[in-house]
């Protein structure tokens, strides 16, 4: 490139995405730098240090395939690794691949603007420095921009308050003997509740929408299992690329209505015991598509809740009834429902009227003040787009990405955007709803191959065509609206943008299957990236 830029590529974010991107850029001889506001690598796994944080995916498909050294030298200790272990894995990856020399921590990107004449991105940091690069690549993460709901009086709370995704890094939070409140019961809330229940004096859980929490069944990984997994990594990663959710699972052959009631129950029970995504993905092939089949799964989980929770009134409150299983991303539970059998745990229903106000002393619901020492917000994220719209990303003719998307998402395969030359997103909006490390690796590989193609063919600008992103928006909408997930609108699901007031309600992820998506990306590459030569 003859634009005298400081770098070939600036990558924002030092999590799974940014680390993989840097390594792959180096492999094709590009000079790349990674910028991250945090003081350590890990991205999401750096920030989410709340008690109980762990993966909902099993260890054997929650990592990268690309480095044989890392695969062979890293040992996982639990089926669902806890946050410190995933962060340690990413630190190990960064060390082992010598990535640190091209990572600048404590460096927040505030603005990135494409200069048409020079064909470079000018990237301004919070230190007031401007760095330039031919390519700008976002690895900013999809569930990374915390959502703090606008509850009246929130700022007046006099006790300690924390968001799960901004848990203190520099000290232990001592909850012993304290009255603790938790607002939010997505995957974060469902993970923190059982752990905090054991630490706190009293735990008050404020529930707006109950969730379908699937048992996880966690246990240690012994040497034999780890050795077996190491052996099978290549095959597993290959299979994951062929699966709708990017996991190395078998697709079930039958729908839930194709078998007898007894057989259906047996299969649900077997996969419930296996745990987590096995229940969601390996029971029947139509749970996300067919109302009646879905109803059987929803009923099965409600039955489990009623069997587990001793107090019938609490059990009923915990049973989701006005939206189906998969209408929200189902969290994995680790003793979640059992927690409500503890004497120090109280479930407070805010479904009808919400939280009236937060005062200096606590949380008021239906006229009653619940006094608290500590208030925990497990209130999720401005998902998929939040990190991208928090930064001023300015494309051609001064168009800001946030403004372009104000009335609806437009991307080409979630990888690029018309009007934003040489800009790529790893896990951009409209990429698949899937197991993320596998999806990230596929995205990173695709971008790397595109940059190599551009270099080999003297192409100075890669930019989505307008037509291609119009077509992709239609496909994302078509695929999503044919699924049960469309009912996520009734459950404030983040994947449909419904958890953030004022955000357009539309599919922020592709529900047509990760496997189909990867194929489509391969086709675009095989066709010479024509859909990305629209500048």
Which of residues 188, 314, 387, 412 is near ligand N01 by CB under 6 A? Answer: 188
Binding status of residue 379 toward ligand N01 by CB under 6 A: yes
Cα(408)–Cα(403) distance, integer angstroms: 10
Which of residues 42, 380, 419, 421 is near ligand N01 by CB under 6 A? Answer: 380
User: Minimum distance from CB of 189 to ligand N01 (Å)?
Assistant: 5
Nearer to ligand N01, 378 or 409 (CB): 378
Binding status of residue 411 toward ligand N01 by CB under 6 A: no
Tokens read off for 163: 């968001």
Candidate ranges 184-192, 289-297, 466-474, 482-490; the one touching ligand N01 (CB under 6 A): 184-192
**Which residues on neighbouring strands pair with residue 133, listed in sequence order?**
7, 121
Which of residues 40, 43, 184, 327 is near ligand N01 by CB under 6 A? Answer: 184
Could you tell me if 329 and 188 are in contact, meaning their C-beta atoms sit under 8 angstroms apart?
no
Which residue's entry shows tokens 């003997």?
177
In the chain, % helix, strand, coil (3-state, to 5) comes to 40, 15, 45
Report the run of H or E that residue 454 belongs to, with start and end: helix 436-456
Nearer to ligand N01, 97 or 350 (CB): 350
Q: For residue 136, what is the DSSP state?
A: E
User: Minimum distance from CB of 185 to ligand N01 (Å)?
Assistant: 4
Binding status of residue 189 toward ligand N01 by CB under 6 A: yes
Nearer to ligand N01, 131 or 215 (CB): 215
Q: Which positions from 323 through 342 interact with ligand N01, judged by CB under 6 A? A: 329
Binding status of residue 1 toward ligand N01 by CB under 6 A: no
Q: Any residues with CB less than 8 A from the CB of 90 and at least 6 apart, and which?
A: 15, 16, 19, 41, 42, 43, 45
Binding status of residue 492 toward ligand N01 by CB under 6 A: yes
Binding status of residue 317 toward ligand N01 by CB under 6 A: no
Candidate ranges 30-38, 53-61, 266-274, 414-422; the one touching ligand N01 (CB under 6 A): 53-61
Cα(140)–Cα(138) distance, integer angstroms: 5
Site string for ligand N01, 133-162 (x = CB under 6 A): ----------x-----x-x-----------
N- to C-terminal Cα distance for the chain? 17
Could you tell me if 370 and 344 are in contact, meaning their C-beta atoms sit under 8 angstroms apart?
no
Alpha helices by DSSP H, listed for 457-527, are: 466-481, 514-526
Distances (CA, A) of 46 to 20, 36, 70, 436: 16, 11, 19, 16
Which residue in the shown chain puts its C-beta closest to ligand N01? 186
Candidate ranges 124-132, 183-191, 233-241, 293-301; the one touching ligand N01 (CB under 6 A): 183-191
Residue closest to 325 by CA, chosen among 349, 289, 271: 289
Cα(422)–Cα(420) distance, integer angstroms: 7
User: Minimum distance from CB of 186 to ligand N01 (Å)?
Assistant: 2
Site string for ligand N01, 60-99 (x = CB under 6 A): ----------------------------------------
User: Minimum distance from CB of 364 to ligand N01 (Å)?
Assistant: 13
**Cβ count within 10 A of residue 23:** 22
Nearer to ligand N01, 187 or 319 (CB): 187
Could you tell me if 11 and 21 are in contact, meaning their C-beta atoms sit under 8 angstroms apart?
yes
Q: Which positions from 285 through 304 interact with ligand N01, judged by CB under 6 A? A: none
- CA torsion 246-247-249-252 (nearest 10°) is -40
User: Minimum distance from CB of 110 to ligand N01 (Å)?
Assistant: 25
Nearer to ligand N01, 25 or 378 (CB): 378
Nearer to ligand N01, 54 or 503 (CB): 54
103-104 and 109-115 as β-strands: parallel, antiparallel, unpaired? unpaired
Binding status of residue 22 toward ligand N01 by CB under 6 A: no
Cα(168)–Cα(12) distance, integer angstroms: 23
Q: Any residues with CB less than 8 A from the CB of 318 and at least 6 apart, and which?
A: 207, 210, 305, 309, 337, 340, 347
Binding status of residue 508 toward ligand N01 by CB under 6 A: no
Candidate ranges 4-12, 132-140, 186-194, 253-261; the one touching ligand N01 (CB under 6 A): 186-194
Residue closest to 319 by CA, chosen among 340, 299, 296, 295: 299
Nearer to ligand N01, 276 or 513 (CB): 276
Which of residues 209, 411, 435, 508 is near ligand N01 by CB under 6 A? Answer: 209
Binding status of residue 529 toward ligand N01 by CB under 6 A: no
Nearer to ligand N01, 187 or 409 (CB): 187
User: Which parts of this chain interact with ligand N01 (CB under 6 A)?
Assistant: 54-56, 143, 149, 151, 183-189, 191, 208-209, 329, 350, 354-355, 378-381, 492, 494, 499
């Amino acid at each position: 490139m003859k634009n005298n830029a400081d770098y070939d590529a600036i990558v924002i974010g030092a999590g799974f995405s940014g680390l993989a991107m840097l390594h792959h850029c180096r492999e094709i001889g590009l000079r790349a730098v990674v910028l991250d506001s945090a003081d350590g690598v890990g991205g999401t796994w750096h920030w989410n240090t709340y008690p109980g944080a762990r993966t909902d995916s099993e260890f054997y498909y929650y990592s990268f395939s690309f480095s044989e050294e890392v695969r062979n030298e890293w040992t996982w200790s639990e089926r669902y690794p806890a946050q410190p272990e995933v962060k340690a894995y990413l630190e190990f990856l960064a060390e082992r691949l010598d990535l640190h020399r091209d990572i600048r921590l404590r460096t927040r990107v505030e603005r990135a603007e494409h200069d048409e004449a020079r064909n470079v991105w000018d990237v301004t940091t919070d230190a007031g420095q401007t760095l330039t690069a031919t390519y700008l690549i976002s690895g900013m993460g999809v569930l990374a921009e915390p959502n703090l709901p606008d509850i009246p009086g929130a700022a007046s709370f006099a006790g300690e308050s924390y968001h799960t995704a901004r848990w203190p890094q520099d000290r232990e939070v001592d909850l012993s003997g304290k009255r603790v409140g938790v607002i939010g019961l997505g995957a974060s809330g469902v993970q923190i509740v059982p752990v905090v229940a054991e630490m706190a004096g009293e735990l008050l859980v404020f529930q707006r929408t109950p969730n379908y929490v699937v048992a996880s069944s966690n246990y240690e990984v012994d040497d034999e299992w780890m050795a077996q997994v190491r052996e099978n990594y290549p095959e597993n990663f290959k299979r994951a690329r062929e699966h709708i959710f990017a996991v190395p699972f078998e697709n079930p052959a039958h729908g839930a209505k194709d078998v007898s009631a007894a057989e259906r129950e047996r299969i649900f029970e077997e996969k419930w015991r296996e745990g987590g995504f096995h229940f969601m993905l390996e029971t029947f092939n139509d749970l996300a598509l067919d109302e009646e089949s879905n109803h059987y799964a929803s009923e099965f989980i409600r039955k489990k809740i009623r069997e587990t929770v001793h107090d019938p009134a609490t059990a009923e409150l915990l049973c989701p009834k006005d939206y189906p299983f998969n209408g929200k991303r189902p969290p994995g539970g680790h003793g979640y429902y059992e927690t409500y059998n503890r004497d120090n745990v109280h479930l407070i229903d805010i479904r009808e009227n919400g939280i009236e106000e937060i005062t200096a002393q606590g949380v008021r619901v239906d006229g009653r003040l619940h006094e608290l020492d500590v208030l925990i917000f497990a209130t999720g994220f401005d998902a998929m787009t939040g990190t991208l719209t928090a930064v001023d990303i300015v494309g051609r003719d001064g168009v800001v990405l946030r403004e372009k998307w104000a009335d609806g998402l437009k991307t080409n395969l979630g990888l690029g955007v018309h009007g934003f030359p040489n800009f790529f997103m790893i896990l951009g909006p409209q990429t698949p709803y899937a197991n993320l490390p596998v999806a990230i690796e596929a995205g990173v590989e695709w971008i790397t191959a595109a940059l190599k193609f551009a270099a080999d063919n003297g192409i100075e600008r890669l930019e989505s065509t307008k037509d291609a992103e119009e077509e992709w928006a239609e496909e994302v909408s078509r695929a999503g609206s044919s699924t049960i997930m469309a009912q996520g609108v009734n459950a404030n699901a983040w994947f449909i943008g419904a958890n953030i007031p004022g955000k357009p309600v539309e599919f922020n992820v592709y529900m047509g299957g990760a496997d189909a998506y990867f194929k489509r990306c391969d086709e675009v590459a095989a066709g010479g990236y024509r859909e990305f030569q629209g500048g």
